[in-house]
Structure 1
Amino acid sequence: MSTTLAAGTSLDFTLAQQLTVIALCALTAYISHMALAVFNDGVRPFLLDFIQGRTTRSATTAVSFGLSAGFIFGLGAPMALSTGVLNPWLVFLPTDILGMLSPKKWLAPILGAAWGAVVVFGLNGANNVAHDLPVDFLTAMQQMSTPILFLFTLFPVLAITKQFGRRWGGVAGGLELVLVVMTMKLWPNMFAGALAMAAGVLMLIGLAVSKDVRQRRADRTADVVEEVPQDDPMASLFSASAARLRRYLPLFMVLGAGVCVLAQMHIFGGGEATSFLIAKGQYSEAAQVDFYRVFGFIPLIATTALASGAYGIAGFTLVYPIGYLMPNPFLAAVVGAVVFAVEVLALSWIGRILGKLPSVRDSSEHLRSAIGDTLQLAILFGSLMAANAMGGGLGILVVGGLYLLNEAMGRPVVRMAAAPAAVIVGGIVLNILYWLDLFTPLKG
């Protein structure tokens, strides 16, 4: 399977696509202003104090900006420019900030729509300018696709190893290797990691459920009775939060419809690996990848939503893979609305189920950690490959040096975003050196 994108990736959107992005950005900014949902999982726990009046809008905005800015400029923008596919860090994180920043309810959707216009009209201009430079760092950044796609395949192996030990991790690693080789040999047009990831995630879930079932049987055998306080404050909070979200069910259904339509248009990818797969037109493989990621985020999103009273802009992210596979935007809108309705109505039930499956909850934590570990290495390695493509040893020196400097300074740019940001800064530096007649771009 080819993992190289065509040079000159375009961000030229149709009118329908432009209007969809602008309208969705307006909606998500409005919902953020209402503190009903945000995309950044790290911001959501802070919203409870804001909702209950214990902190100010400006303080919450500062938290949102601090936790999101690095991902917007260091990961979201570089990924969109290098793949030609929008992503949630570029589309939804800024509307988190703008919605919370807005002092008036009517102003929030205007600010969100303005950001959407910047995305659909401004990115293509920046993309064209960058591709016309002597050192085309955006085309070089497409080198990131191979390590991201293949190393991402290993995240279930890491999760199994962390939760169930080296023996099961070794079994999972061997199984995934066999499946990757088999897929490359028998189905060369299919994403090589698709079957391997499916097997790994199913194995992790199977091990976790089996452990929880055995534990519950052991507890019943030992006559262990779980004592629940009559006035459980957390249960009361969860109930109030779920009720708050249900009151705005129609608004959430519109949000689900919008996100699903955006995914159906195939100008949007829900993750790093997904963006490259969407860019290559491998929509079913992209749906698989984002579907597997769902298992790592359902417990986090459900518990933070129940604790804070604020949901996720993309919900449990199920609307991503569903949207990729929908045949038209009208059906995507209907299905997306229904999916969000089911998610919001089922929040309390999901919270109770998760309370009875501690190993499954732990699995989601390990999955998220493993996704972060694999992508962190893949993005760093891919960024150095991009640096080599655009500047050889000097490119590696500049990009690697910027990454190491960021580490030494205490990571002012979050680690995941530091390497792509370093590629862009390194590309600008190499172009300046070219204009000073101090550097000759590599051929090819």
Structure 2
Amino acid sequence: MSTTLAAGAGLDFTLAQQLTVIALCALTAYISHMALAVFNDGVRPFMLDFIQGRTTRSATTAVSFGLSAGFIFGLGAPMALSTGVLNPWLVFLPTDILGILAPKKWLAPILGGAWGAVVVFGLNGANNVAHDLPVDFLTAMQQMSTPILFLFSLFPVLAITKQFGRRWGGVAGVLELALVVMTMKLWPNMFAGALAMAAGVLMLIGLAVSKDVRQRRADRAANVEEVVLEDDPMASLFSASAARLRRYLPLFMVLGAGVCVLAQMHIFGGGEATSFLIAKGQYSEAAQVDFYRVFGFIPLIATTALASGAYGIAGFTLVYPIGYLMPNPFLAAVVGALVFAVEVLALSWIGRVLGKLPSVRDSSEHLRSAIGDTLQLAILFGSLMAANAMGGGLGILVVGGLYLLNEAMGRPVVKMAAAPAAVIVGGILLNLLYWLDLFTPIKG
């Protein structure tokens, strides 16, 4: 399977695609202003104080900006420029900030729409300028695709090892390696990690459910009864939050339709690995990757939504893989709206089910942690490969040095985004050295 993209991945959008991005950015900024949903999982817990008036709009904006800026400029923009595919860090994190920032309800969609216009019109210009430079660091960044796609496949193995120990982790590792080798041999045009990830995630869920079932049987055998507190304040809060979100069900259905249509247009990828797969036209593989990620985020999104009263802009992110596979935008809009309706209406039930499956909840935590670990290594390794492609040893020195400096300074740029940001800064620096006649670009 080829893991490189055609040189000069473009960001040319049709009129329909431009209008969709602008309209969706306007909508998400409005929803963020209403404190009904935000994309950043780290911001969501702060929304309860904002909803209940215990903190100001400016203070909440500062929190959102602080938690999002590194991902926007260090990960979202570099990934979009290198793949030619939009991503949620670039599209939805800024509308979180702009929506909360807007002092008036009518201003939020205007600011959001303006950001959408910057994305669809400004990125293409920046993309063209960067590709015309003597040191084309955007094409070099496509070197990131191979480590991201292949190392990302290992996240179920890490999650199983962390939760169920080395023995089960070893079994999962051997199984995934065998499936990757088999896929590369028998189905060379298929994403090699697809079957491996499916087997790993199913194995993790099976182990977690089995553990919970055994524990419940043991509790019943020991006559341990579940204690239900009628006046549990958390139960009351969860109920109020779910009711608040249900009141705005039509708005959430429009949001679901919009996100699903954006995914159906194949100009948007829900994650790092997905962006490269979408860029290469491997939509079914991209759908598999984002579907497996869902299992790591449902418990987090459901519990934070019930605790804060603010949902996720992409919901449980099921609309991503569904959108990739839809044959046309009209069907995608209908299905996306229905998926969001089911998600919002089922929030309370999901919260109760998760309360009875502690091992499944733990699996979600381990999945998210494993996804972060695999991507951090893959992005760092891929960024160094990009540095080597654009500047050889000097490129590695500059990019690796910037990454290490960021670590030494206490990570002013979040770790996940530091390496891609270093590639862009390093690429600009190498171009300056070229113009000063101090560096000769690598040919090839």
> Taking structure 1 as the reference length, what is the TM-score of the superposition?
1.00
- Structure 2: distance between partners of 1:227 and 1:284: 45
- Structure 2: distance between partners of 1:18 and 1:180: 38
The Cα offsets for residues 366-416 of structure 1, whole Å up to 9 and x where unpaired, read as 000000000000000000000000000000000000000000000000000
- Structure 1: distance between partners of 2:71 and 2:393: 27
- Structure 2: distance between partners of 1:435 and 1:9: 25
RMSD across aligned positions (CA):
0.2
Find out whether 1:305 has 2:305 as its counterpart. yes
Out of 434-443 and 227-236, give the one that drifted further: 227-236
- Structure 2: distance between partners of 1:229 and 1:349: 17
- Structure 2: distance between partners of 1:29 and 1:121: 19
Q: Secondary structure at the match of 2:3?
A: coil
- Structure 1: distance between partners of 2:58 and 2:226: 43
Deviation at 1:53, TM superposition (A): 0.5
- Structure 1: distance between partners of 2:228 and 2:134: 67
- Structure 1: distance between partners of 2:6 and 2:106: 42
Find out whether 1:288 has 2:288 as its counterpart. yes
- Structure 2: distance between partners of 1:214 and 1:153: 29
- Structure 1: distance between partners of 2:204 and 2:362: 11
- Structure 1: distance between partners of 2:53 and 2:12: 43
Deviation at 1:230, TM superposition (A): 1.9
- Match in the other structure for 1:338: 338
- Structure 2: distance between partners of 1:235 and 1:228: 10
- Match in the other structure for 2:205: 205
Q: Secondary structure at the match of 2:21?
A: helix
- Structure 2: distance between partners of 1:311 and 1:96: 12
Deviation at 1:307, TM superposition (A): 0.1
Q: Secondary structure at the match of 2:18?
A: helix
- Structure 1: distance between partners of 2:396 and 2:146: 18
- Structure 2: distance between partners of 1:229 and 1:334: 40
Q: Secondary structure at the match of 1:315?
A: coil
Deviation at 1:148, TM superposition (A): 0.0
- Structure 1: distance between partners of 2:227 and 2:361: 20
Deviation at 1:229, TM superposition (A): 1.7
Deviation at 1:226, TM superposition (A): 1.9
- Structure 1: distance between partners of 2:190 and 2:309: 41
- Match in the other structure for 1:85: 85
- Structure 2: distance between partners of 1:9 and 1:239: 47
- Runs of 5+ in structure 1 lacking a partner? none
- Structure 2: distance between partners of 1:302 and 1:296: 11
- Structure 1: distance between partners of 2:149 and 2:11: 22
Q: Secondary structure at the match of 2:316?
A: coil
The Cα offsets for residues 112-137 of structure 1, whole Å up to 9 and x where unpaired, read as 00000000000000000000000000
- Match in the other structure for 1:440: 440
- Structure 1: distance between partners of 2:103 and 2:187: 55
- Structure 2: distance between partners of 1:151 and 1:353: 32
Deviation at 1:155, TM superposition (A): 0.1
- Match in the other structure for 1:149: 149
- Structure 2: distance between partners of 1:221 and 1:48: 41
Deviation at 1:228, TM superposition (A): 2.0
- Match in the other structure for 2:391: 391
Out of 265-274 and 229-238, give the one that drifted further: 229-238
Deviation at 1:261, TM superposition (A): 0.0
The Cα offsets for residues 260-287 of structure 1, whole Å up to 9 and x where unpaired, read as 0000000000000000000000000000
The Cα offsets for residues 303-359 of structure 1, whole Å up to 9 and x where unpaired, read as 000000000000000000000000000000000000000000000000000000000
Deviation at 1:225, TM superposition (A): 1.0
**Runs of 4 or more above 4 Å deviation:** none
- Structure 2: distance between partners of 1:158 and 1:345: 33
Q: Secondary structure at the match of 1:400?
A: helix
- Structure 2: distance between partners of 1:309 and 1:184: 45
- Structure 1: distance between partners of 2:266 and 2:242: 32
Aligned pairs (5 A) from 1:409-424: 409-424=409-424
- Structure 2: distance between partners of 1:259 and 1:53: 30
- Structure 2: distance between partners of 1:229 and 1:193: 45
- Structure 2: distance between partners of 1:218 and 1:212: 10
Q: Secondary structure at the match of 1:230?
A: coil
- Runs of 5+ in structure 2 lacking a partner? none
- Structure 2: distance between partners of 1:240 and 1:437: 65
- Structure 1: distance between partners of 2:195 and 2:434: 45
Deviation at 1:241, TM superposition (A): 0.1
Sequence identity percentage? 95
The Cα offsets for residues 185-217 of structure 1, whole Å up to 9 and x where unpaired, read as 000000000000000000000000000000000
The Cα offsets for residues 81-113 of structure 1, whole Å up to 9 and x where unpaired, read as 000000000000000000000000000000000
> Taking structure 2 as the reference length, what is the TM-score of the superposition?
1.00
- Structure 1: distance between partners of 2:206 and 2:86: 34
- Structure 2: distance between partners of 1:256 and 1:185: 39
Q: Secondary structure at the match of 2:8?
A: coil
Q: Secondary structure at the match of 2:281?
A: coil
Q: Secondary structure at the match of 2:75?
A: helix
Deviation at 1:227, TM superposition (A): 1.4
- Structure 2: distance between partners of 1:230 and 1:364: 28
- Structure 2: distance between partners of 1:229 and 1:103: 40
- Structure 1: distance between partners of 2:405 and 2:226: 51
- Structure 2: distance between partners of 1:428 and 1:64: 28
- Structure 2: distance between partners of 1:223 and 1:88: 48
- Structure 1: distance between partners of 2:38 and 2:351: 19
Deviation at 1:256, TM superposition (A): 0.0
- Structure 2: distance between partners of 1:384 and 1:403: 10
